[in-house]
Chains A and B, each alone.
Chain A
Amino acid sequence: MPVPEIAESYTGSVNLVTLGATKEQGGTRSSTVTVGGARNVVYGGSPGQTGQKPVIAMDVLDAKPDDWPEVLIEPYKDVLDSPADWAKKCVEEFGAELICVKFEGIHPDKADRDSEHAVKVTEQVLKAVNVPLVLWGCGNDEKDNEVMTKVSGAAKGEKCLIGSVTEDNYKSLTAIALADNHFLITEAPLDINIAKQVNILVADMGFPLERIVTFQSTGALGYGIEYAYSIQERQRLAALSGDKMMAMPAICDVGYESWRAKEAKLVDAPGWGDVKGRGPMWEAATAVCLLQSGVDIIRMRHPKAVATVKNFIDQVWKS
Chain B
Amino acid sequence: MILIAERINGMFTNVKQAIADKDKKVIQELAKKQTDAGAAYLDVNVGTAAADQQGTMQWLVETIQETCSTPLCLDSQKPVVIAAGLKVINAENGVILNSTPLNKKSDEEIFDKYVEMANNAGPKASIIALTMDKNGVPQDVDTRVAVAAEIVSKAMEKGFDPQRIFIDPIILPVKVPNAQVQPGNILTAMDQIRFLSEPPPHMTIGLSNLSQGATERSLINRVFLAIAISRGLDSAIVDVFDRDLINVVATAEMLMNKQIYSDSFLKVYT
List residues of chain A with CB under 8 Å of any chain B CB: 8-9, 11, 192-197, 199-201, 204, 234, 238, 241, 243, 245-246
| Contact of B259 with A by CB under 8 A | yes
| Bound complex: CA A200 to CA B268 (Å) | 8
- Known A193-B263, A243-B259; further 12 A-B contacts with Cβ < 8 A: A8-B199, A196-B260, A196-B261, A197-B262, A199-B262, A200-B268, A204-B267, A234-B260, A241-B258, A243-B260, A243-B268, A245-B268
For residue B263, give the distance in angstroms from its CB to the closest CB of chain A: 5
**Interface secondary structure of A, over-half rule:** helix
Number of interface residues of B (CB under 8 A): 11
| Bound complex: CA A276 to CA B267 (Å) | 51
| Contact of B264 with A by CB under 8 A | yes
Flag B65-95 by CB within 8 Å of A: 1 or 0 each. Answer: 0000000000000000000000000000000
Chain A residue, CB-CB nearest to B266: A200
Which chain A residues border B258 with CB–CB below 8 Å?
241
Chain B residue, CB-CB nearest to A244: B268
Flag B199-230 by CB within 8 Å of A: 1 or 0 each. Answer: 10000000000000000000000000000000
A193 adjacent to B199 (CB under 8 Å): no
| Bound complex: CA A238 to CA B260 (Å) | 8
Query: Which of A8, A196, A234, A241 lies in contact with B262, CB distance below 8 A?
Result: A196
Chain B residue, CB-CB nearest to A194: B262
| Bound complex: CA A245 to CA B199 (Å) | 23
Flag B240-270 by CB within 8 Å of A: 1 or 0 each. Answer: 0000000000000000001111111001100
B264 adjacent to A201 (CB under 8 Å): yes
| Bound complex: CA A11 to CA B234 (Å) | 13
| Bound complex: CA A196 to CA B258 (Å) | 14
* Nearest 7 pairs of A and B residues by beta carbon: A196-B262, A197-B262, A200-B264, A193-B261, A197-B263, A196-B260, A193-B262
A193 adjacent to B267 (CB under 8 Å): no
Which chain B residues border A194 with CB–CB below 8 Å?
262
Which chain B residues border A200 with CB–CB below 8 Å?
262, 264, 267-268
Known: A200-B267, A204-B267, A245-B268. A9 touches B199 (CB 8 A): yes
| Bound complex: CA A165 to CA B263 (Å) | 17
| Bound complex: CA A11 to CA B163 (Å) | 9
| Bound complex: CA A9 to CA B268 (Å) | 23
Give 6 A-B contacts (CB < 8 Å), ordered by A residue.
A192-B260, A196-B261, A197-B263, A200-B267, A204-B267, A238-B260
Chain B residue, CB-CB nearest to A241: B258
| Bound complex: CA A200 to CA B258 (Å) | 17
| Bound complex: CA A200 to CA B259 (Å) | 13
| Bound complex: CA A200 to CA B261 (Å) | 11
Which chain A residues border B199 with CB–CB below 8 Å?
8-9
| Bound complex: CA A248 to CA B163 (Å) | 24
Which chain B residues border A9 with CB–CB below 8 Å?
163, 199
Which chain B residues border A196 with CB–CB below 8 Å?
260-262
Chain A residue, CB-CB nearest to B258: A241
| Bound complex: CA A11 to CA B264 (Å) | 24
B264 adjacent to A193 (CB under 8 Å): no
For residue A248, give the distance in angstroms from its CB to the closest CB of chain B: 13
Query: Which one of B163, B258, B261, B262 has the greatest number of beta carbons of chain A within 10 Å?
Result: B262
Which chain B residues border A195 with CB–CB below 8 Å?
262
Which chain B residues border A245 with CB–CB below 8 Å?
260, 262, 268
Which chain B residues border A193 with CB–CB below 8 Å?
260-263
Chain A residue, CB-CB nearest to B199: A9
A246 adjacent to B260 (CB under 8 Å): yes
| Bound complex: CA A194 to CA B267 (Å) | 14
| Bound complex: CA A4 to CA B86 (Å) | 37
Which chain B residues border A192 with CB–CB below 8 Å?
260
Which chain A residues border B268 with CB–CB below 8 Å?
200, 243, 245
| Bound complex: CA A194 to CA B261 (Å) | 9
Chain B residue, CB-CB nearest to A237: B260
Which chain A residues border B267 with CB–CB below 8 Å?
200, 204
| Bound complex: CA A8 to CA B260 (Å) | 21
Which chain A residues border B262 with CB–CB below 8 Å?
193-197, 199-200, 245
| Bound complex: CA A241 to CA B260 (Å) | 11
Which chain A residues border B163 with CB–CB below 8 Å?
9, 11
For residue B84, give the distance in angstroms from its CB to the closest CB of chain A: 29
| Bound complex: CA A6 to CA B261 (Å) | 29
Chain A residue, CB-CB nearest to B198: A8
Which chain A residues border B261 with CB–CB below 8 Å?
193, 196
Flag B156-172 by CB within 8 Å of A: 1 or 0 each. Answer: 00000001000000000
| Bound complex: CA A11 to CA B268 (Å) | 17
